[in-house]
Structure 1
Amino acid sequence: MKLTLSALTAAVLITTAPWAAAQNVAIVNGKPVPTHRVDVLAKQVEASGRPVDDQVRAQLKEEVILREIFMQEAQKRGIGASKDYQDQIELARQTIMIRALFTDFQKKNPVTDAEVKAEYDKFVAANSGKEYRARHILVEKEDEAKALIADLKKGAKFEDLAKAKSKDPGSGANGGDLDWAAAASYVPEFSEAMVKLEKGQLTEAPVKSQFGWHVIRLDDVRQAELPKLEEVKPQIVQQLQGQKLNQFQQALREKAKIQ
């Protein structure tokens, strides 16, 4: 049997129609909406940490279709020719280009394991040593603090007085407990008095700081427990990436000729 030209054309259309449909999400008012748009949105969703399952992909498909509908309407109304639209497009173009520039820089200048180790070693050097677990009661006047010390020496419970009298709402509600911390975490007057105490000992006199008058009790001392490198590596990498990017930005700013 010999195919006529019209029959041959029909056969070709039947053969290629499924392929053409696969390239498009839909056809809106006669205009094809390519599947690639869904793929682009799906990549953005995945980059945010969300999995793209069939349900999410269906939602993205609907969003792409709605975008095309709204775009067609905007074009009908001539919005694309407005100055405000053109200004916004230019800002968006700059944002995308700059983001791509920074991404390219970070890909070509990755944080090395040696840099991470060096930063971790600095962290260890700055934070190693002793940690102290102390309690305090903070009041406004020295006489109040002296009265508290007298009550404690008579047998009053430190935790109860802290809850009732301390003007430090955070620790006061916990019986004055400041949890484990390095001495350097506190203001100098506080830390100097605290480190002189033995475990279980109370300050004999109130300690004055910028916050008021403190009554301090040292509950325990230990060697600082620092996280292992593997535990903090993601945070260190992020920190170093930020530093490198800031240096890159500053270098570009400094060498730019601005008149």
Structure 2
Amino acid sequence: MKMALFADVVVNGETIASAAIAAEAQNHTAPKGKPGIAWRKAAQALAIRTLLLQEAKARGLDADPEELAPGRVETEDEALIRAVLDEALTIAPVTDQAVRAEWARDPDRFRSEPLWDVSHILCACDPREEAASAIAEARAQAVLARLDGDAKGFARLARESDCGSKASGGHLGQLGPGDTVPEFEAVLRTLPEGGTTPAPVLSRHGWHIIRLNATAPGQVLPYETVRPKIAQALEKAAWARASRDFIEMLATEATITGASLAPI
């Protein structure tokens, strides 16, 4: 990335260093071969950050960093940005009427977590070891080619699995969200009942052939159960809208060169 291709970013006379934008660009995605988009996203983010810090200074606010998590404390800049938004934004309380209306739009959205009855065959390997992973994948492909699609055939071939579940025909029992690795769970969310993965699936444990025996869909939850979650989501959305409006107001009153605050 050639820094000379990009103009300096200046916000109300304050220049943002190219090195800072380059570092921030690592946190933004861009299509392959188009690093300029990541640069523009980074320049925009730092321009907004600078605007908010300038506003905090204009209001005479002091930084009072808070602990965000064990071992993670806000930086002074983060504390100042939080302080200026807390002072500037006024969010109307979410009413029960608004929460109930959001719920009534589609109560079916609010369900308990599903359960999946699952079997698998594991060809174990360390995915970081290329040769071992290739051998395990080839072995999994060979097993998959021998499957005839029924549960009995799957259980029979599961005796070749590297998982302790081979003693029960590869049966893992009922799994819920978070009970297995992300790659495995992603497959469970797409397989039909009685379906088997058409190709082996790689996880940190090795290559899996996965069969979804049955699905127990989550039940629609009553309004009182989901009310707090809906209220929290509405409050978060209102805060996001208010913060965007505030930043747009600051931008209209500012002189900014080298960056655009329009959506990228």
Q: TM-score range by the shorter chain?
A: 0.3 to 0.5
**Which structure has the larger Rg?**
1
Q: Flag the structure with more relative contact order, 1 or 2, with Cα contacts below 8 A and sequence separation at least 6.
A: 2
TM-score by length of 1: 0.41
